[in-house]
Amino acid sequence: MDREPPTEVDLLRWSEALAGIARTGLGFTDSTYERERFEEVLAVAADIRHAAGHPVDPSQLVVEWMKQVGSGVPGYVTPKVAVGAVVGDDEGRLLLIQRADSGVWLYPTGWADIGYSPAEVARKEVHEETGIECEVERLIACFDGLRLGFSRVPLYSLVFHCRATGGSLVPHPLETRDVGWFGPDELPDPTAGADRWADMAFAAIRGDDVGAWFDHPRDPPWQGDPDAH
């Protein structure tokens, strides 16, 4: 079967996968020969990322990657973890924030913090970014951000459905420009990725049994359709 030429997203995830393999290998070997080979792989990965539109010089990118090399298990490269919260109120509306860095609207989300469970992070992010208190109801999604093209760094995003229990709308002074409650037909523009998650979010808020959305395996993983379910 004929395949379309690789997209920028394809090149980016191939680059990150190769760089992760090489950095992990460097963290587990003392062999000079193997280290040289892994450093060559990093150089190839940097060239691929540059072809995907990364503005940094490939040689400088290799230097940055080498700085991240650890030793043994701490050096095993894995995706970062972000945690998001789909918060609904008694009127069936969705809580959204306008991000200070990009101006786009999205449900509250942030990096996972050590010492907190994912559900605890969700509740903490909601309160910090919006002033709203909530209870975590259930996990409704696990996204691979690099695969779906909404992140340029490898990350998994865990999304929880939460129920608002109190508080008042107070945007974080540094992280958010604005916050608000929105119905299904009232989403502000631009709302990041709403075509992928909005229906699921409002279904969860209504109390529908939405299960947990996840990225289904591709066959083969490196060339399969990323939207195949």
Q: What's the pLDDT tens digit per position in 161-179?
A: 999 999 999 999 999 999 9
* pTM, entire model: 0.85
**70 and 89 both lie in a single domain:** no
Contact yes or no for 152/158 (Cβ under 8 A): no
Percent of the chain with pLDDT over 70: 95
Contact yes or no for 134/151 (Cβ under 8 A): no
Question: Is position 38 within any domain?
Answer: yes
Domain count for the chain, please give it.
2
Q: From 175, 171, 203, 177, select the one nearest 190 (Cα to Cα).
A: 177
Question: Is position 63 within any domain?
Answer: yes
Question: Is position 56 within any domain?
Answer: yes
Sorting pLDDT into bands at 50, 70 and 90, what band is 112? very high
The more confident residue out of 221 and 39 is 39
Euclidean distance between CA atoms 98 and 105, whole angstroms: 4
Euclidean distance between CA atoms 72 and 42, whole angstroms: 18
Question: Is position 226 within any domain?
Answer: no
